[in-house]
Amino acid sequence: MTADEQLTRRLVDLAAQGRRSRCGEAGSHELWLSDDATDRALAARWCTGCPVLVECGAAADEHDERFGVFGGVDRTPPPAKRKSAATGVRGETRHPTCQEPS
Ligand code: SF4
């Protein structure tokens, strides 16, 4: 099973319990993929204690995510280095905030 599949399974399990990750909460989820580094720093702190933190980080590793906060880590390079990042641009990001458990 891939890391992405493990994350999806855990998110589905959480949803079955009526729970969700903090980044999935309406009204705050945009912080995780914000262009503002201060927002992303807050999001990274809010990942603390997330029940899928390990799976989230592993899935982000699997996808080589390079923009946004995953597993409590802001993977966004400093602005000067963003142009050289080959993958992970916002349009390609597969963030847990974007996943709807079925
Ligand atoms: S980004 Fe990952 S670790 Fe952080 S709250 Fe969302 S699912 Fe949890």
Band of residue 94 on the pLDDT scale cut at 50, 70, 90? confident
pLDDT at position 85, please? 55
The more confident residue out of 71 and 88 is: 71
Tell me if 65 sits within 8 A of 89, measured CB to CB: no
What integer pLDDT is reported at residue 28 of this predicted model? Answer: 85
Atom of ligand 1 nearest to the CA of 53: 3
Q: Is 72 in the pocket of ligand 1 (CB under 6 A)?
A: yes
Whether pLDDT at 20 is above 80? yes
Structure tokens at 84: 């050289």
Query: Is residue 21 in contact with ligand 1, taking CB distance under 6 Å?
Result: yes
51/81: higher pLDDT: 51
Residue 78 has a pLDDT of 84
With contact defined as beta carbons under 8 Å apart, do 57 and 73 qualify? yes
- Among 11, 32, 93, name the best residue to mutate to test ligand 1's pocket (greatest count of ligand atoms within 8 A of Cβ): 32
Average pLDDT for 13-35: 93
